[in-house]
Chain A
Amino acid sequence: MENTLTLKNRIPRKLWILPAVMSVAIPFAIFPGASEAGLKLLTGTALDESARYILWEIRLPRILFSVVAGMILAVSGVIAQSLFRNPLAEPGLVGISAGSMTFAVFGIIASHRLLAGELVLPGWLAALIGNSFVAFAFLGGLLTSWLVMAFGKTARGYSMVRLLLSGIAINAFTMAFTGFMIFLADDRELRDITFWSLGSFGAANWNSFSILGVSGLAAMFVAFYFHKELDLLLLGEKAANDSGMNVSRVRTILLILISLIQGLVIAWSGMISFIALVAPHLGRLSFSASHRLLLASSAFYGGLLTLFADTLARSLAAPAELPLGILTGLIGAPYFLMLVRREVKYEH
């Protein structure tokens, strides 16, 4: 009796370190940056109007945005790896990142040329691109992942192999479009495209944060609701079915969930590499692979990593801003390599 309960319900004390670190990191992240507002805050100098604006209207929402984005990217990574039963899987496999990319690149080029009057598009399309570039990229991502899922579906629910293969094919197909548009782009457009494809939280504000925050919280709640099902999915489709779980229903919900998460983050902040792949491994290696703990620990790791990378991105080369993807790769990859080398579990 004693251990039955502890095994199931205990939260390891070590896990509290992560939210603790995060609650310290978030206020600290407000100091560094291009403007001297942070320095003023630190030294207690009176804040003028613009400094206050920079701190509360630009920097703080951006910090919170990056934390939530990192958290849900990590959660979507956990789900993708368990869904595909592959430690190398990442949510991009479902096609949504490539699709968002294609639409975003089109949106970037189109908005430049619409302004210059070089391009004529149907009114609604021009309005969508002009007013809501984010919605445009988001819809593009959803369209592609819908396509991948339509091809990956069989009479008996989703086949993971077929889904993976369709994903690879459709990724290649959309990449061809992207490549063609990049080929046509001029220098200014190219710069925008490059910046977008390496990711940035430059677009974050209270508006975008409130949308991301609410939907991100909902997404994490849904993912956690399915933590037992995710454990079972690791045992394979048949074993999960034998154990009483409705595999095709859960799979459909989870696939849609990771598409939405990815679409949401990518549309606002471009391609953020590596977080969704690394954070789940960090969670697994330092705590547990059981999803009750893994979802939480990976989310915190994802949030912290992203916050760290973004803080460096906006302060290292200040007043210029480095693309985020450069830093996530630069920090994430070596750390990940070190962990993988040290960990006995990966010697098999």
Chain B
Amino acid sequence: MSINITDLHFSRGERFQLHVDRLEIPKRKLTAILGPSGAGKSTLLSLITGEDLPYTGEIRLQNKDIRQLSVLQAACMRSVMRSEELAWLPLTVGEVIETGAYAAEQKKKSRQINFEQTGFQINKLLKQFDLTHLSKASFDTLSSGQKQRVQFVRALRQSNGQASFTLLLDEPFSHQDPGHALLMIQALQQYREAGGCCAMVLHDLNLAAQVCNHFILMKEGEVVASGDANRVMIPELLEEVYEIPFEVHGSGLLPVYQINSSPASINNKKLKYEVGYV
């Protein structure tokens, strides 16, 4: 019951239309938003953030229409990790992460909530995500994986340790090595167990299958399927959406989704892409 979307319409010029009839992103689950580039995954995520976009329909965050929320109220209910590159950010890692505390501090100032330190101290966070040695380094001097991790920690910092919170992440693992990705995944799983809600845009199906337990599959601005792995992560649906042949190896907890690039398979299925090298 954490995010509910009804009859959402959004268009960006003639070229791009997004339409979602009914969609739920549940709490206590990690939700992957999947689909080919241009399917509308990031746009859907942006709409949920409450960004000022001209849409029709309704998006409810914790049962509140996001249009009714002030910028500050929204920031106390969800945080966002975007995938944009920053050209110039002279702040140090510690300072960047601390900006995530802005909403909580503002609320504290206006005495709207009882602000309590909920175990989200910056040093613990830095240590947990292997950033302690970088805390005084300028953000500009980091590698892209480190920058991404800092942005992730900043989004966590904004949650201020609340369990009824929503994390919206746009490709959180795209620059991570397996070890550091694991740190982030473990944090997300703890957060999920505590009752949190999280939606993330992902491209790696295997990672999605491993990390998430709720899936939304999108194509050309429409939701093709949503639900658990058994309903969404099936080769027929994936083939329809990505327009390449898929095979699933293994089963149970860790299936492996593999692109089947043999010419026979491609010819048989008459799919859009011709995979040239075999």
| Interface positions of A (Cβ within 8 A of B) | 1, 3-4, 7-8, 85-87, 156, 228, 231-232, 234-236, 238-239, 241-246, 284, 288-290, 344-345, 348
Q: Closest CB of chain A to B187's CB: distance in Å? A: 19
Whether B177 is near chain A, meaning CB under 8 Å from some CB there, is no
The answer to whether A244 touches B141 (Cβ under 8 A) is no
Which residues on the A side are within 8 Å of B86 (C-beta)?
Answer: 235-236
The answer to whether A238 touches B51 (Cβ under 8 A) is yes
Give the docked Cα–Cα distance between A261 and B69 (Å).
35
Which residues on the B side are within 8 Å of A156 (C-beta)?
Answer: 52
Which residues on the B side are within 8 Å of A245 (C-beta)?
Answer: 71-72, 75, 102
Give the docked Cα–Cα distance between A156 and B103 (Å).
22
Q: Closest CB of chain A to B199's CB: distance in Å? A: 14
Residue of A nearest to B89 (CB): A234
The answer to whether B98 touches A8 (Cβ under 8 A) is yes
14 A-B pairs besides A86-B88, A238-B82 with CB distance below 8 A are A87-B88, A87-B90, A235-B86, A235-B89, A238-B80, A243-B75, A243-B103, A244-B71, A244-B76, A244-B106, A288-B92, A290-B91, A345-B138, A348-B140
Which residues on the A side are within 8 Å of B98 (C-beta)?
Answer: 7-8
Whether B44 is near chain A, meaning CB under 8 Å from some CB there, is no
The answer to whether A348 touches B99 (Cβ under 8 A) is no
The answer to whether B82 touches A239 (Cβ under 8 A) is yes
Q: Closest CB of chain B to A225's CB: distance in Å? A: 12
Whether B100 is near chain A, meaning CB under 8 Å from some CB there, is yes
Interface residues in B107-142 (C-beta closer than 8 Å to A): 121-123, 138, 140-141
What would be 17 A-B contacts, judged by CB atoms less than 8 Å apart? A4-B123, A7-B94, A85-B88, A87-B88, A228-B105, A234-B89, A234-B90, A236-B84, A238-B80, A241-B51, A241-B71, A242-B82, A244-B74, A245-B71, A288-B95, A289-B90, A345-B140
Which residues on the A side are within 8 Å of B51 (C-beta)?
Answer: 238, 241
Q: Which of A7, A243, A345 contacts B90 (CB 8 A)?
A: A345
Q: Closest CB of chain A to B275's CB: distance in Å? A: 36
Q: Closest CB of chain B to A269's CB: distance in Å? A: 29
The answer to whether B95 touches A289 (Cβ under 8 A) is yes
The answer to whether A234 touches B52 (Cβ under 8 A) is no
Whether B79 is near chain A, meaning CB under 8 Å from some CB there, is yes
Interface residues in B172-224 (C-beta closer than 8 Å to A): none
Which residues on the B side are within 8 Å of A288 (C-beta)?
Answer: 92, 95
The answer to whether A243 touches B158 (Cβ under 8 A) is yes
The answer to whether B82 touches A244 (Cβ under 8 A) is no
Give the docked Cα–Cα distance between A232 and B106 (Å).
13
The answer to whether A235 touches B96 (Cβ under 8 A) is yes
The answer to whether A235 touches B123 (Cβ under 8 A) is no
Q: Closest CB of chain B to A192's CB: distance in Å? A: 40
Nearest 7 interchain pairs by C-beta: A244-B75, A244-B103, A289-B90, A242-B80, A244-B72, A290-B95, A243-B102
